[in-house]
Amino acid sequence: MKTDIQKINGKIIATLVGELDTAAASQVEKELQPLFEAKGENIVIECEGLEYISSSGLRILLGILKNAIANGDSVVMSHVNDDIKNVFRLTGFINLFKFED
Amino acid sequence: MSVNNFNRKASGVYVVIVSVLLLELISAVQFYYTRSLLEDELEKRVETELTMKAIVVNSMLRNAQGILNDHLNDIKRNIAEPDSMFRVVRSIVEANRNLNGGWVAFAPDFYPQKGRLFEPYAMRKGDNITVVQIASDNHDYSTNPIFHETAAAHKFVWSKPYLDKDGTRNMITTCNLPFYDSRDSLQGITGVDFSLSWLGDTLNSRHIYPSSFMMLLTEDGEVISSPSDTIRKYKDTKIVADLINDSTQLRTLSRSGRSEIIEFNSAVNGDNAYIFFANVRGDPHWIMAVVCYDNEVYRKLYYMGLNIAVLNLLALAVMIFLILRFVRNARRLSEARLAQEHVRSELSVAHNIQSAMIPQALPSMDSAEVAGLITPAKQVGGDLYDFFVRNEKLFFCIGDVSGKGIPSALIMAVTKSLFRLAAERENNAAHIMTDLNKMACSNNATNMFVTLFIGVLDLPTGHLRYCNAGHDLPLLCRPDGTVTPLNADANLPIGVFENTEYSLQKQLVDPGTLIFLYTDGLTEAMNEQHAQFGLHRVERILADSASLAVQELPGRMSNAVHNFVGEAEQSDDLTMLAIRYRGNGSESALFTDSITLANDVAQVPQLSQFVARVSERVGCDKATSMQVKLSVEEAVVNCMNYAYPAGQTGTICINARFYSKNLLFIITDNGVAFDPTEKSPADTSLSATDRPIGGLGILLVSQLMDSVNYERIQGKNVLTLKKIITKPTSE
């Protein structure tokens, strides 16, 4: 599981690649710490390389979203594949996040 | 309905009206026919009476004339001897008792030796007859107009009736006969006094009607004789006299010899009265009248008319009563029939609804077969059973609501719905029972209660957990044919006490075992001799049915009951539910694999590799593989997090089994009892801010897998995930 964070044009773009399972979750949560601290910057989470996500991964995303909403910022999920989108659908997360392709 | 009713009512009214008209027509015809008969009868009677009485009167008059004629020779023979005339007049009066007096009045100066006037006169006073010379200056008969009239007449002359001034003050008339010498010179006049009151009594000696009477009048309308017995008659005689006196026409008519009729109103009571009158033939021209009163002539008719009217009224009243009763009964009957049909159709609908509420059989299931049957005693019943499968567990119940019919059916429907509701999330039969009891008690205005048995059969393992609330004990029928009742606590039926505690009991059911549940309508079914079907018969049939398909068992049992009961009426609902547990033993797994992990999330990659290996063996597509991987990870991580207290090391064993289409993951740990399926899953409708962190994992598992089943077996938590592989990729 790899993560990457870049700031472009006032946006924070976080790229997730690999399988975000329970074992990887705590490491990923640490690496994405800047997203929890972001303020005044909209967040884009690039998921083109994301192959798998478990509920612990969803919890991280929910934490990021709650922080962004509290600051009036937005979180956009980008290039989420259908299988993972189905997980978002089953959990109702599909209504919480914005998606773009 | 309203139209029919109207027609029926209207036809009733028509019948009454037509009947009234017919009856009245018949009565009228009868009345007038009878009236004309009575009129004919009256005329005949009056005619007869008049003829008879005319003959009587005539004969009397002729008799008086005859007497005078007889004595005329005697007078002529002895005309030279004036004193012999005293003998002659006595002889005249003696000739007839009805003669009051008789005399010979000689022409003036006929006997010079006797003075100018000579009139010997015999007078009847009682039985004696006295004879005197009555003529005097005071009684100068030669000045009496009738003397001259008679003298000129050369025949009998009857005087007008007058009141006898001297004697009996009776109404009398005189008959005068003149006699002459050879030169036709008047010698004298002989005559008789004729008592008319006597005549009146004779005429009225008999009455054709009680009040009718007869009168004799001169042709001038002067009353010669009339009855004097009552005031009424006296008053009416005056009217009759006046009528005849006033009417020359009547007098003319009376001369025709036929009787004539005129009507007048009685002076007494205004009744219609009739005068029949006719001429007494001969001289004098007297008129005879019969007076009859309408009410008497037609009294019979009135009585008859009254009787007919009363009878008609009675007949009419009876007919109206009958028609009304007929109409009313017909209406009641049709109303009752409609109401009955209404109730019947509603009951039929209710029956269909109730039947639809009860599942007949389970769809294809490898591990268990279920079949049930309810035969309500009435169209709807108070018995219930239900079964459904959730998370590899067969939930079932059977119950009997106290009472029968519609109230019981309502409670039955509510109880069944509540069972579904309570068992939706709850695996513990005792908890379900407690919930049901609380709900049943909370609104139990009718104090109805339900005996209920709830069972939860874990299909992978055969563990039966059950709770009984006063219901008949289910029977366990093993493959070898032995039948034993399930050991169950009695407990109170639900709906009795809100705080009743219900005990949960367990039993391991071997594959092939039949669980047979029933209501007391089965064992207590009665035949005509009031013998009960009994538990022993049920047990014998079960023992004989060890190899029978479950679907056929209820029918077989039901037939046995019907044969036993015969013609006797079914008194209670007949309900049974049969479950045969087959277990998974019948099918061997195509492959099994297992892995044991420590309770550390760092082990998840190894789990993922294990699941990927299994998925590849089974031939899952990519999406299914990911769903299986996610579900197993979530379930196992859940165990890692919660099965063991923090810091305590433990193991989690994951066993994968693949049957022809079912992929099972059986996750076992030795930790504290923990049923993840009882946790309520996350609410997916909340906003991001309100969304809690937990509950996502088990939500994903339950949604991605076909069933999730938890069992606590021998101190272990056993969680079984099942995924049905529909499209294997490998051929």
In this predicted structure, what is the pLDDT of residue B122?
A: 92
Exposure of B250 in the CB half-sphere (CA atoms within 13 A): 25
Q: In angstroms, what is the C-alpha Rg of chain B?
A: 67
Which tokens hold the place of B27? 């009565």
Hey, is the C-beta of A23 within 8 angstroms of any chain B C-beta?
A: yes
Going across the sheet that includes B574-581, the strands are B368-375, B574-581, B514-518, B475-477, B483-485
The rounded distance, in Å, linking the Cα atoms of B381 and B404 is 6
Which candidate, B286, B290, B288, places its Cα nearest to that of B278? B288
- Per-residue model confidence (pLDDT) at position B44: 81
Q: How much is the ipTM here?
A: 0.91
Q: Compute how many other C-beta atoms are within 10 angstroms of the C-beta atom of residue B152.
A: 10
At residue B509, what are phi and psi to the nearest 5 degrees?
-100, 125
Alpha carbon separation from B546 to B334, B363, B536, B550 (Å, rounded): 54, 21, 16, 9
Tell me the sheet residues that pair with B516: B475, B578
Q: CATH second-level architecture of A2-100?
A: 2-Layer Sandwich (3.30)
Q: How many residues does chain B have?
A: 731
CB B489 within 8 A of CB B456: no
**Alpha helix segments (H runs only) across B78-124:** 84-95
E strands, B573-672, are: 574-581, 591-598, 651-658, 662-669
Question: At B7, is the pLDDT very low, low, confident or very high (cuts 50, 70, 90)?
Answer: low
**What is the pLDDT of chain B when averaged over all its residues?**
83
- Give the gap in angstroms from C-alpha A59 to the nearest C-alpha of chain B: 6
Collect all residues of chain A within an 8 Å Cβ-Cβ radius of residue B608. Answer: 19, 21
Alpha-carbon B16 to chain mean position:
19
Q: Is A74 on the interface with B (CB under 8 A)?
A: no
Residue owning tokens 């009424």: B232
Query: Scanning every residue of chain A, which has its alpha carbon at the shortest distance from the alpha carbon of B625?
Result: A83
The count of other CB atoms within 10 Å of the CB of residue A28 is 19
Phi, psi of B374 (to 5 degrees): -125, 125
A34 touches B: beta carbon within 8 Å: no
Q: How close does chain B come to A83, measured CA to CA in Å?
A: 6
Taken in order of first residue, the domains within chain B and their CATH numbers are 204-297 (3.30.450.20), 364-581 (3.60.40.10), 591-724 (3.30.565.10)
Q: Please report, for chain A, the start and end positions of each structural domain, with discontinuous segments joined by +.
A: 2-100
Q: Mutual orientation of helices B553-565 and B535-544 as an angle, nearest 10°?
A: 140
Task: Find the mean pLDDT for residues B388-392.
Answer: 83
- As a whole-number percent, the residues of chain B with pLDDT over 90 amount to 20
Measured distance CA(B483)–CA(B485) in Å, rounded: 7
Coil, strand or helix: which one is B563?
Answer: helix
User: How far is it, in rounded angstroms, from Cα B3 to Cα B329?
Assistant: 17
* Residues in chain A within 8 Å Cβ distance of B699: 90-91
pLDDT of residue B729: 46
Report the gap between the CA of A69 and the closest CA in chain B (Å): 8
In this predicted structure, the answer to whether residue B256 has a pLDDT above a threshold of 80 is no
Distances (CA, A) of B323 to B113, B319, B502, B709: 104, 6, 67, 76
The better pLDDT of the pair B360, A16 is held by: A16
Q: Are B105 and B119 in contact (CB under 8 A)?
A: yes
CB-hemisphere CA count at 13 Å for B346? 7
Whether the CB of A92 is below 8 Å from some CB of chain B: the reply is: yes
Q: Give the residue from chain B lying closest to A85, CA to CA.
A: B623
Cα(B556)–Cα(B438) distance, integer angstroms = 37
pLDDT recorded at residue B584: 67
CA-angle at B515, arms to B510 and B517, nearest 5° = 165
What is residue B1's predicted lDDT score, i.e. its pLDDT?
45
**Yes or no, beta carbons of A66 and B622 under 8 Å apart:** no
Cβ–Cβ < 8 Å for A43, A76: yes
Q: How many Cβ atoms from other residues are within 10 Å of residue B108's Cβ?
A: 16
For chain B, say whether A21 makes contact (Cβ under 8 Å): yes
Dihedral sign for Cα atoms in the order B460, B465, B469, B471: positive
Higher pLDDT, B170 or B447: B447
Residues ≥6 apart with Cβ < 8 Å to B152: none
Q: What percent of chain B has pLDDT over 70?
A: 91
The answer on pLDDT for B176 being more than 50 is: yes
Whether residues A90 and B699 touch (CB distance < 8 A) is answered with: yes
Alpha-carbon radius of gyration of chain A: 12
pLDDT, tens digit, 9 for 90 and up, residues B565-594: 888 887 788 899 999 998 765 567 788 899
In whole angstroms, give the CA distance from residue A87 to residue A61.
13
Query: What is the rounded CA–CA span in Å between residue B506 and residue B380?
Result: 34
CA-based nearest distance A24→chain B, Å:
8
What would the mean pLDDT of B389-412 be, rounded to a whole number?
Answer: 85
Q: How far apart are CA B157 and CA B149, in angstroms?
A: 8
Q: What's the angle, vertex CA B713, arms to CA B681 and CA B465, rounded to 5?
A: 75
Other Cβ atoms within 10 Å of B370 Cβ, number: 24
Please answer yes or no on whether A66 and B601 come within 8 Å at the CB atom. no
Chain B neighbors of A25, CB-CB under 8 A: 601
Interface check for B78 against chain A (CB to CB < 8 A): the answer is no
Selection from A28, A76, A74, A15 nearest residue A54 by Cα: A28
- CA–centroid distance for B727 within its chain: 73
CB B221 within 8 A of CB B249: no
Can you give the pLDDT at residue B731?
40
Residues B694-721, mean pLDDT to the nearest whole number? 86
pLDDT tens for residues B49-97?
887 777 878 888 888 888 988 888 889 888 888 889 999 999 998 888 8
Intra-chain end-to-end CA distance of chain A, in Å = 22
Q: Looking at the predicted structure, is the pLDDT value of residue A18 above 50?
A: yes
Answer yes or no: is pLDDT of B335 > 80.
Answer: yes
Contact yes or no for B623 and A83 at CB 8 A: yes
Q: What is the mean pLDDT of residues B136-149?
A: 85
Structure tokens at B557: 């049992």
Provide the token pair at B94.
């003696």
Name the residue among B622, B633, B699 with its Cβ closest to that of A21: B633
Report how many helices (DSSP H) and strands (DSSP E) chain B contains, helices first.
16, 27
CA B75 to chain centre: 101
| C-alpha closest to that of B374 among B343, B406, B399 | B399
Chain A's closest residue to B702, CA to CA, is: A90
Which of B689, B670, B664, B691 has the alpha carbon at shortest distance from A55? B691
Query: Which pLDDT does position A84 carry in this prediction?
Result: 92
Q: Which residue matches tokens 């002729």?
A: B62
Query: Would you call the peptide bond into B210 cis, given omega within 30 degrees of 0 as the criterion?
Result: no
Per-residue model confidence as pLDDT tens digits over B300-310: 777 777 777 78
Q: CB-CB: which of B626, B683, B688 is closest to A62?
A: B688
Query: Does the beta-carbon distance from B604 to A23 stay under 8 Å?
Result: yes
When scoring B603, B604, B624, B702 by the number of chain A Cβ atoms within 10 A, the one with the most, hence best to mutate, is B604
The nearest alpha carbon in chain B to A24 belongs to B602
Better pLDDT: B517 or B544: B517
Give residue-wise pLDDT tens across range B611-644: 999 999 888 888 899 999 999 999 999 888 888 8
Q: Of B222-226, B242-246, B304-308, B535-539, where does the model show the most confidence? A: B535-539
Residue B89: phi and psi, rounded to 5, are -65, -35
